[in-house]
Structure 1
Amino acid sequence: MLDVRRLRLLRELSIRGTIAGVAQALAYSPSAVSQQLALLERESGATLLRRSGRNVLLTPEAERLVAHTTRILTVLEEAESELSSSDGATSGTVRIAAFQSALLTIVPTALAAMRRNHPDVRVEVVHREPGAALAETWAREVDLVIAEEYPAHSAPHHDGLIRDELTEDRIHLAVPEGAAIASVADAAELPWTMEPAGTASRHFAEQLCRRAGFEPDVRYVTADLHAQLGLIASGAAVGLLPGLIWSASTAPVARVPIDGENTRRLFTAHRRGSHGNQALAAVRAELGAAVRGEPELPPVG
């Protein structure tokens, strides 16, 4: 019978691409990973890996085995979730990945509710951009991701992840207080602050400026939205900022409505196999209550 732990190593190799990447992710030594994969080849009786220079490539047989492994891991996670809830207690660890504005607003409110209503659940949180966080959830590095989608810019889809809508978040043009700016077009000659190239928010901002008839003069690039607020408040720039960031700031910055599609969609995603996990369900419920502004009541009993 094939060893599940070795099968997981093969799946990790399909995700990470290198033996060193697998070793780092799972706290193994590279030699230990190689030895276990060699044993898996002997167990399966098939050639699973082939060398290409310094890289290791999966054979078609290995790819088929990875697909089976994903299904096996999902079933095992479903079994773990069922067993964890069999005594009615809500406990365990839930690992969350979230982007900055969610970390500044939704997550702290949900964590306070978890401590109050579910004290036996340990919640761990890491800051990740949505694209990377979705991949990490699929790869089982975290259990739940809070992600975003900007207009005309869909977040990556991963097989086996269940998405739940959280809320919609309106985007505004942020300008220095008192500035005579009434539209994006009015800011054509001004310096801009945006997130790094390749991010969904940057793509949205650039396209909005281009539809208004100009190429933005992006002088200040940072993924830190509080830094962007500071730049705008100082008069150094203008920018496009989502609504959540305003509730976590008192910076002297004015909001100018923008035309057309002007909301980003916030959602959570978790693996199908963990759907029945009570601790995860509690976290999802508290996140939903946080965006609605409603306290989630502790369970009766």
Structure 2
Amino acid sequence: MDVSLHRLKLLRDLRHRGTVTAVADALHYSTSAVSQQLSLLERETGATLFERRGRRLVLTEAGELLADHAESILDAVTQAGNAIESLRDGLTATLQVGVWASVASGLFPRGMTTLADRAPGILVRSVELSPEDGSDAVRDGSLDLSFVIDYSNYLMPRTQALRSRPIAAEQMFVAAPTGTFEEEAIALSSLATKPWILADSRSHFGRAVRLACRSAGFEPDVHHAVGEQSTALALVGADLGLSLISELAATDVPDGVELTPVADRFERNLSIVYRSRDAQRPAVRAFLEAMSEAAQTLGLPPPTGETYESPEAESPET
């Protein structure tokens, strides 16, 4: 049987992501292109790999069996590439890395400068994506590494296929119009009656803040739902409410906005995830060290709490 590695990757991605549409979106293909490639894979194997259940395409027993072997085959190909990489004179490699706004504007550039000085042969290509999507993108091979976040009250799921390198613990601040508060630190309970500017509850950040507010005895009254902290700061500057801002985002505060530390124990832990099989890959290790040193240079302490366990299952918000 002679099958395409590319199509085996699509098969693996379908099992991980669940739908052809999700695979297409992740790889920036059309759904018809993914479907066509999967159909060609069936022809190459001479077996029925998929069946329709309603509008979904699911793996048959043969499809699941081939997907198991695809994991091993693709891992072996990656490990062979890593072995060749380690034998080269000088450290040369290309890394695909997931970032998001506050990391891309603060920590990442500083770490890249350190990496370029120490290992100029490493080419890094970054992709901006939400922290919620980083782990999946690394697991399915779309990225080599990705920055992810945990909150002290809400931890992201991890899988055995991934490892996590803690990088920094970010303090959280209340962002409010200048002169709103006189205290040196603000208890969340004192914000119960204020209008809020906050990420949607479906996001990790929005969910974590709501859980923190509930622990303080109230549900935040969200007037404006925004995705980026920089957008929230702009709205705070327009006196449209208050928000919580992480330490990395606190480096670019507009006029008219004042930041006050949160008195409650509520912090954001920044980590980088990568595949377990890449733990000894020289380029990955060099990248991790550069970003860790960048965090230290910025005065960000390493996380002290657990950042690897999954959060307890909770009912989704409506």
Pick from 224, 236, 245 the counterpart of residue 220 of structure 1. 224
* Matched position secondary structure for 2:248: helix
Q: Distance in 2 between matches of 1:77 and 1:37?
A: 21
Q: Distance in 2 between matches of 1:281 and 1:52?
A: 43
**Quick check: 1:91–1:278 contact (8 Å CA) kept in 2?**
no
Matched, 1:232 2:233: no
Distance change in 2, residues 1:176/1:110 (3 Å): same
**Cα deviations across residues 236-287 of structure 1 (Å, max 9, x unaligned)?**
2111111111124354433333344211111111112333332222221211
Pick from 269, 273, 292 the counterpart of residue 296 of structure 2. 292
Q: Distance in 2 between matches of 1:20 and 1:265?
A: 32
1:152-191 correspondence runs (5 A): 152-180=153-181, 182=183, 183-191=187-195
Q: Distance in 2 between matches of 1:155 and 1:270?
A: 14
Distance change in 2, residues 1:47/1:191 (3 Å): same
**Cα deviations across residues 180-239 of structure 1 (Å, max 9, x unaligned)?**
364323322221111122112212222232333332221111111112112223322111
5+ residue gaps, structure 1, are: 295-301
**Quick check: 1:148–1:264 contact (8 Å CA) kept in 2?**
yes
What residue in structure 1 maps to residue 265 of structure 2? 261
TM-score (norm: length of structure 1)? 0.86
**Quick check: 1:50–1:56 contact (8 Å CA) kept in 2?**
yes
Deviation of 1:21 (Å): 5.4
**Cα deviations across residues 34-78 of structure 1 (Å, max 9, x unaligned)?**
442222431xxx532112244321013322332332233222212
What residue in structure 2 maps to residue 3 of structure 1? 3
**Quick check: 1:192–1:239 contact (8 Å CA) kept in 2?**
yes
Q: Which stretch of the first structure deviates more once superposed, 190-199 or 70-79?
A: 70-79
Q: Distance in 2 between matches of 1:20 and 1:176?
A: 43
Matched, 1:70 2:71: yes
1:1-301 correspondence runs (5 A): 1=1, 3=3, 5=5, 6-19=7-20, 22=23, 25=27, 29-30=33-34, 32-42=36-46, 46-180=47-181, 182=183, 183-249=187-253, 251-293=255-297
**Counterpart code for 1:265:** N
Q: Distance in 2 between matches of 1:206 and 1:114?
A: 37
Give the superposed CA RMSD: 2.4
**Quick check: 2:173–2:246 contact (8 Å CA) kept in 1?**
yes
Distance change in 2, residues 1:30/1:262 (3 Å): closer
* Matched position secondary structure for 1:145: strand
Deviation of 1:8 (Å): 2.5
Aligned residues: 291
**Counterpart code for 1:153:** Y
**Quick check: 2:196–2:224 contact (8 Å CA) kept in 1?**
yes
Deviation of 1:19 (Å): 4.6
Q: Distance in 2 between matches of 1:48 and 1:239?
A: 49
Q: Distance in 1 between matches of 2:181 and 2:91?
A: 54
Deviation of 1:103 (Å): 1.2
Q: Distance in 1 between matches of 2:200 and 2:20?
A: 30
**Quick check: 2:237–2:254 contact (8 Å CA) kept in 1?**
no
Q: Distance in 2 between matches of 1:130 and 1:116?
A: 28
**Quick check: 1:19–1:33 contact (8 Å CA) kept in 2?**
no
What residue in structure 1 maps to residue 305 of structure 2? none
Q: Distance in 2 between matches of 1:246 and 1:224?
A: 13
Distance change in 2, residues 1:67/1:181 (3 Å): farther
**Counterpart code for 1:3:** V
TM-score (norm: length of structure 2)? 0.82
**Quick check: 2:3–2:45 contact (8 Å CA) kept in 1?**
no
Deviation of 1:31 (Å): 6.0
Q: Distance in 2 between matches of 1:284 and 1:88?
A: 21
Q: What is the identity percentage for the equivalent residue pairs of Structure 1 and Structure 2?
A: 23
